[in-house]
Amino acid sequence: AQSVSQHNHHVILSEAASLELGCNYSYGGTVNLFWYVQYPGQHLQLLLKYFSGDPLVKGIKGFEAEFIKSKFSFNLRKPSVQWSDTAEYFCAVAEGRRALTFGSGTRLQVQP
Amino acid sequence: KAGVTQTPRYLIKTRGQQVTLSCSPISGHRSVSWYQQTPGQGLQFLFEYFSETQRNKGNFPGRFSGRQFSNSRSEMNVSTLELGDSALYLCASSLAQGSYNEQFFGPGTRLTVL
């Protein structure tokens, strides 16, 4: 069965610091990759997704992620975080028509 | 366009009871997926319905069931509730089946089993 690992459970950064959240998955075939974000008190929403093509994908609010097939990784990055980025971030993976498998989430706290 | 709505938002039940949760997808969306979110297990997939048929199923016991109506609204039922069923149950809708279609999540129903 597919599994997704997010190694950072809780990250604390100061505003303007750079962010990188790790995500690794277990399946070796063709997968679709996603990052979702859940802001305090809000719904889970899609940050960005990768299906194929350029392995560097850009999402909303200045986030980007890089797919490295050889490392089974899809790490999320942002050059300079803001206080408003405080949220929980989830990596998710799916094979074609199969359902999403989510990682355990990373809680990001940005201090002003 | 209205988002995904879930009712009720909060529910308290006792062990052994059963519960039904409801999800109304975004207008025009035909696929509805259900997830269980807990602090220990994270987000786990329950099942997906498309055109009134269950298309995918997660690894949950048979006490968890669902259905979808012709208007794409979906209900999820849990029978013989256990303490471990306490969780946030999320519904997500998408235009069609499959991960190529973006899923839009609702606010969830928080179920507490006493």
Looking at beta carbons, which residues of chain A come within 8 Å of B106? 43
* Amino acid A35: pLDDT: 97
* Amino acid B97: pLDDT: 82
Number of Cα atoms under 13 Å in the Cβ half of residue A63: 22
Looking at beta carbons, which residues of chain B come within 8 Å of A88? none
Interface mutation target, options B33, B38, B99, B101, chain A, most CBs of A under 10 Å: B99
- Closest CB to B56: pick one of A32, A51, A99: A99
Q: Give the pLDDT band of residue A4 (cuts 50, 70, 90).
A: very high
Q: Give the pLDDT band of residue A99 (cuts 50, 70, 90).
A: confident
Q: How many CB pairs under 8 A join A and B?
A: 55
Question: Would you mind telling me the total number of residues written for chain B in this entry?
Answer: 114
* Amino acid B44: pLDDT: 94
Looking at beta carbons, which residues of chain B come within 8 Å of A96? 98-100
Q: Between chains, do B3 and A101 touch, taking CB under 8 Å as contact?
A: no
Q: Does A88 reach chain B within 8 Å, measured CB to CB? A: no
In this predicted model, what pLDDT tens digit does every residue of B48-101 receive, in sequence order? Answer: 999 999 998 999 999 999 999 999 999 999 999 999 999 999 999 999 888 778
Q: Between chains, do B3 and A98 touch, taking CB under 8 Å as contact?
A: no
* Amino acid B64: pLDDT: 98
Q: Does A90 reach chain B within 8 Å, measured CB to CB? A: yes
Q: Does B40 reach chain A within 8 Å, measured CB to CB? A: no
What average pLDDT does range A71-87 have in this prediction? 96
Give A95 or A111, the one with higher predicted confidence.
A111
Question: Rounded CA gap, A41 and B107, in Å?
Answer: 9
Question: Rounded CA gap, A39 and A105, in Å?
Answer: 12
pLDDT at B1 > cutoff 80: no
* Amino acid A7: pLDDT: 87
* Amino acid A98: pLDDT: 81
Distance from CA of A33 to the nearest CA of B (A): 9
Q: What percent of chain A has pLDDT over 70?
A: 99
In this predicted model, what pLDDT tens digit does every residue of B15-36 receive, in sequence order? Answer: 999 999 999 999 999 999 999 9
Lowest-pLDDT choice from A61-65, A70-74, A107-111, B1-5: B1-5
Q: Report whether A80 contacts A16 (CB < 8 A).
A: yes
Looking at beta carbons, which residues of chain A come within 8 Å of B38? none
What average pLDDT does range B9-15 have in this prediction? 97
Long-range Cβ contact pairs of B67-71 (< 8 A, separation 24 or more): B68/B32
